[in-house]
């Protein structure tokens, strides 16, 4: 399935494949690959959802992936999803598909929108001119899908397309001449000579690998000469001219097959009117911030009580497991592994699942309705000043919930440099797992200013993120952020069913990914806390206790050079939620309450320093794994390295300065 972004492709894909879909990556790149299947008349049809693209001209990673798949995998056919209300631009991709020689079924989607705008499309004309079957659908309502399945089923019996675009009297002779040159090699590679020639003229040198070496040298020279000659004659580059000719043809085609009820093309649409407010020069940013504020209110107000419930549930589960195992006289260490290790560890991560789900839900709502692109536009000016891309804002905001999906969300950034830069500063956005640390210490040491203290930490994170962005931009990613070019689809009311399915699917993926990594790390942690055999769990004599003792002096300048604190920070590398839990466990082992322990380890200044350290120092293993997956281990190492150093420096700075000011 191919089509423009915002053409409803995903909806159709979901409608066709339902629950039978898998999400992965295209090999070697961080572009999402969705594959699914459906059954029609006892035949199983495998569907691959290509990334949404405007063309196949390989100017972006998405386009390259789509293009390479079509060449290498040679699917039986392509369903080209076309937005009926935006025919001209959507058909550009279809032209390229036809020139490539794949079998195409044209899916005229969003027919309902076209109807409301008074647009009627004569599908017979389209079918005749392009030589493809056309199916009209309205994916959001499920209309036309059966016919689409039938057409897809009929693919195999269809001949390959014979569509040929007339590129004009100046270009056609050149195309003929060059086609003859490449014909033998093209035939051998199973490609259309004319298509290959067009690609070469457009500058896609990569296509030369289809040609034999002897022909290649000659071809390179001929193509280069031809291009120079033509460009001199036109005074423009050939890529532009080719696109012009294609659009010229499409303009004519659209005029021929479309009828508009009234000349509404210059009237502002409903979406335009909404945009006048939402993208207003003065109102735009405040409205966006308001929306974000509401989002976080929802996430925390609804999420936190639910999280507490889950927490209690897991605690009960731990007790029950322990009880059950003791009853069957299982060795004590199994009970400990289960209760202290797995249940406690994994539980403390799942605890904030409600926050994640609500965050996903709200973001999916904003994305589906069409608002997200407006948000990127509105924040562009501001982000540009910070050296960031407008589209970085949303992933950074998601970092306040959890870094793992936030890092995944950076895939919408086209430029790799912008992406890496954003990924590196996302961990500085204080994720929801750190909140328990703040609430605990703020309540204990700043009882009258709790929320101010917590808020100041979030602010600190943002300030540091901006500073790091500037630093990285100046020293590592020297060029400017890629320009923002984003389509603003018309606003529309998201379909609740699709929304829920999407959120559940994504949340489940998150649980699987984060959960597996954290479960593994928790077991390692447990081993470190139990050995050598016989020592009390996580006491100073254990491996982790000794590690903590060894590291404690490092934290002395920061005001908390106690081995227990060091141990809790170590557990924080596995999952930030474990920090508080570990402090609790260590107090219990020593027979103290948590509050009295805190008084032993910290004073107000060092407590604040500790909170700052928790904010900045190395992100949790799930985040590190996500960074590595989206970039490579070098960047992941950099992320870990700089955050450790920065975290230590900030904590020490706060403590030293604070001691002077407040003692």
**Contact call for residue 481 and another protein (CB under 8 A):** yes
Tell me the CB-side half-sphere exposure of residue 319, using CA atoms within 13 A. 6
In the list 190, 483, 520, 553, the residue contacting another protein (rule: CB under 8 A) is 483
Cβ closer to another protein: 40 or 54?
54
In the list 8, 490, 559, 572, the residue contacting another protein (rule: CB under 8 A) is 490
Distance between CA atoms of residues 107 and 497, nearest Å: 22
Distance between CA atoms of residues 313 and 354, nearest Å: 14
In the list 129, 486, 527, 594, the residue contacting another protein (rule: CB under 8 A) is 486
Say which residue the tokens 């989607």 belong to: 109
Choose the stretch contacting another protein; rule: CB under 8 A; options: 48-56, 287-295, 322-330, 550-558.
Answer: 48-56
Which pair of tokens denotes residue 372?
A: 């997200």
Cβ closer to another protein: 419 or 506?
419
- 480: which DSSP letter? P
Of the candidates 110, 75, 99, 90, the one whose C-alpha atom is nearest the C-alpha of residue 1 is: 75
Residues 98-137 as x/- pattern, contact with another protein by CB under 8 A: -------------------x--------------------
**Contact call for residue 416 and another protein (CB under 8 A):** no
The CB-of-380 to another protein minimum distance in angstroms stands at 4
Which pair of tokens denotes residue 76?
A: 């039986």
**Contact call for residue 245 and another protein (CB under 8 A):** no
Choose the stretch contacting another protein; rule: CB under 8 A; options: 47-55, 313-321, 424-432, 442-450.
Answer: 47-55
Cβ closer to another protein: 80 or 460?
80
Contacts of 657 (CB under 8 A, 6+ apart): none
The DSSP secondary structure of 105-157, one letter per residue, reads: EEEEE-HHHHHHTTEEE-HHHHHHHH-SEEEE-BGGGTBTHHHHHHHHHHGGG
In the list 20, 33, 37, 89, the residue contacting another protein (rule: CB under 8 A) is 89
CA 324: distance to chain centroid? Answer: 42
The CB-of-86 to another protein minimum distance in angstroms stands at 5
The CB-of-98 to another protein minimum distance in angstroms stands at 16
Distance between CA atoms of residues 432 and 411, nearest Å: 22
**Contact call for residue 88 and another protein (CB under 8 A):** yes
Return the exposure string of 156-189: e unless at least 16 CB atoms fall within 10 Å of the residue's CB, then b: eebeebebebebeeebeebbeebbebbeebbeeb
| Beta strands, E only, 126-206 | 133-136
Residues from 203 through 232 that contact another protein (CB under 8 A):
203
| Beta strands, E only, 567-610 | none
Using CB under 8 A as the binding criterion, the count of chain residues that bind another protein stands at 52
In the list 280, 297, 326, 596, the residue contacting another protein (rule: CB under 8 A) is 280
Cβ closer to another protein: 355 or 422?
422
**Contact call for residue 376 and another protein (CB under 8 A):** yes
Of the candidates 134, 83, 126, 137, the one whose C-alpha atom is nearest the C-alpha of residue 104 is: 134
The CB-of-45 to another protein minimum distance in angstroms stands at 28
The CB-of-417 to another protein minimum distance in angstroms stands at 13
The DSSP secondary structure of 10-28, one letter per residue, reads: HHHHHHHHTT-EEEEE-TT
Say which residue the tokens 């593994």 belong to: 520
Is the peptide bond preceding residue 532 cis, with omega within 30 degrees of 0?
Answer: yes
The CB-of-418 to another protein minimum distance in angstroms stands at 12
Distance between CA atoms of residues 170 and 449, nearest Å: 76
8 A C-beta contact, residue 126 and residue 96: no
Distance between CA atoms of residues 86 and 271, nearest Å: 15
Q: Between 416-425 and 450-475, two packed helices, what is the crossing angle to 10 degrees?
A: 150
Cβ closer to another protein: 97 or 403?
97
Cβ closer to another protein: 306 or 482?
482
The CB-of-94 to another protein minimum distance in angstroms stands at 12
Of the candidates 238, 236, 242, 88, the one whose C-alpha atom is nearest the C-alpha of residue 165 is: 242
In the list 54, 155, 249, 635, the residue contacting another protein (rule: CB under 8 A) is 54
**Contact call for residue 55 and another protein (CB under 8 A):** yes
Cβ closer to another protein: 164 or 276?
276
Choose the stretch contacting another protein; rule: CB under 8 A; options: 51-59, 310-318, 594-602, 605-613.
Answer: 51-59
The CB-of-61 to another protein minimum distance in angstroms stands at 11
**Contact call for residue 380 and another protein (CB under 8 A):** yes
8 A C-beta contact, residue 52 and residue 62: yes
Which pair of tokens denotes residue 544?
A: 């982790």
Distance between CA atoms of residues 658 and 660, nearest Å: 5
First to last CA, the chain: 67
Choose the stretch contacting another protein; rule: CB under 8 A; options: 275-283, 340-348, 422-430, 655-663.
Answer: 275-283
Cβ closer to another protein: 113 or 607?
113
**Contact call for residue 487 and another protein (CB under 8 A):** yes
In the list 301, 381, 416, 512, the residue contacting another protein (rule: CB under 8 A) is 381
In the list 11, 17, 348, 373, the residue contacting another protein (rule: CB under 8 A) is 373
Length of the chain: 663
8 A C-beta contact, residue 342 and residue 317: no
In the list 127, 216, 244, 311, the residue contacting another protein (rule: CB under 8 A) is 244
Q: Which residues bind another protein (CB under 8 A)?
A: 53-55, 57, 59-60, 63, 85-86, 88-89, 92-93, 117, 203, 236, 239-240, 243-244, 247, 263, 265-266, 268, 271-272, 275-276, 279-281, 373-374, 376-377, 380-381, 384, 390, 414, 480-490
């Amino acid at each position: 399935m191919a089509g423009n972004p915002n053409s409803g492709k995903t909806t159709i894909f979901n409608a066709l494949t339902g629950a039978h879909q898998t999400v992965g990556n295209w090999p070697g790149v961080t572009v999402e690959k969705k594959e699914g299947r459906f059954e029609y008349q006892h035949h199983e049809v495998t569907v691959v959802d290509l990334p949404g693209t405007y063309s196949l001209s390989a100017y972006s990673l998405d386009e390259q992936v789509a293009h390479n798949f079509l060449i290498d995998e040679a699917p039986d056919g392509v369903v080209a999803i076309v937005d009926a209300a935006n025919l001209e631009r959507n058909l550009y991709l279809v032209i390229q598909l036809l020139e490539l020689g794949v079998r195409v079924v044209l899916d005229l989607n969003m027919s309902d929108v076209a109807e409301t705008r008074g647009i009627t499309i004569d599908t017979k004309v389209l079918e005749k001119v392009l030589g493809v079957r056309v199916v009209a659908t309205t994916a959001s309502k499920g209309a036309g899908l059966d016919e689409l399945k039938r057409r897809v089923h009929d693919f195999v019996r269809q001949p390959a397309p014979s569509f040929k675009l007339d590129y004009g009297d100046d270009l056609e002779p050149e195309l003929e001449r060059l086609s003859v040159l490449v014909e033998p090699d093209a035939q051998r590679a199973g490609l259309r000579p004319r298509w290959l020639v067009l690609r070469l003229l457009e500058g896609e040198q990569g296509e030369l690998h289809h040609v034999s070496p002897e022909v290649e040298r000659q071809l390179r020279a001929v193509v280069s000469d031809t291009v120079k000659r033509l460009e001199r004659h036109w005074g423009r580059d050939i890529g532009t001219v080719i696109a012009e000719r294609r659009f010229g043809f499409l303009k004519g085609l659209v005029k021929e097959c479309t009828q508009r009820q009234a000349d509404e093309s210059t009237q502002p649409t409903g979406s335009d009117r909404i945009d006048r407010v939402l993208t207003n020069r003065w109102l735009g940013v405040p409205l966006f911030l308001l929306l974000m504020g509401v989002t976080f209110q929802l996430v925390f107000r609804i999420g936190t009580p639910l999280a507490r419930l889950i927490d209690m549930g897991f605690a009960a589960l731990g007790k029950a497991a322990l009880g059950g195992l003791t009853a069957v006289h299982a060795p004590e260490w199994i009970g400990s592994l289960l209760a202290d290790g797995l249940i406690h560890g994994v539980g403390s991560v799942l605890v904030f699942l409600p926050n994640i789900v609500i965050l996903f839900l709200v973001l999916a709502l904003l994305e589906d309705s069409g608002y997200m692109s407006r948000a990127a536009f509105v924040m562009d000016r501001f982000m540009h000043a910070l050296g960031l891309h407008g589209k970085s804002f949303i992933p950074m905001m998601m970092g306040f919930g959890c870094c793992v999906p936030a890092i995944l969300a950076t895939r919408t950034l086209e430029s790799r440099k912008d992406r890496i830069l954003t990924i590196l500063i996302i961990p500085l956005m204080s994720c929801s797992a750190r909140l328990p640390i703040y609430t605990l210490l703020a309540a204990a040491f700043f009882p009258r200013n709790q929320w101010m203290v917590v808020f100041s930490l979030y602010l600190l994170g943002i300030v540091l993120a901006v500073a790091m962005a500037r630093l990285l931009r100046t020293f590592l990613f020297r060029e400017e952020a890629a320009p923002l070019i984003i389509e603003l689809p018309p606003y529309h009311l998201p379909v609740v069913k699709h929304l829920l399915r999407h959120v559940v699917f994504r949340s489940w993926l998150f649980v699987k990914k984060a959960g597996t990594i954290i479960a593994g790390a928790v077991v390692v942690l447990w081993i470190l806390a139990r050995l050598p055999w016989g020592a009390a769990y996580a006491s100073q004599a254990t491996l982790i206790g000794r590690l903590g003792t060894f590291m404690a002096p490092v934290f002395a300048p920061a005001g908390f050079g106690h081995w227990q604190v060091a141990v809790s920070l170590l557990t924080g590398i596995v999952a930030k939620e474990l920090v508080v839990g570990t402090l609790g466990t260590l107090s219990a082992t020593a027979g103290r309450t948590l509050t009295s322990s805190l008084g032993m380890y910290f004073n107000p200044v060092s407590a604040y320093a500790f909170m700052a350290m928790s904010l900045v120092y190395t992100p949790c293993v799930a985040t590190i794994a996500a960074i590595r997956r989206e970039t490579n281990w070098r960047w992941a190492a950099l992320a870990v390295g700089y955050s450790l150093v920065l975290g230590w420096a900030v904590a020490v700075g706060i403590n030293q300065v604070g001691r002077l000011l407040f003692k």
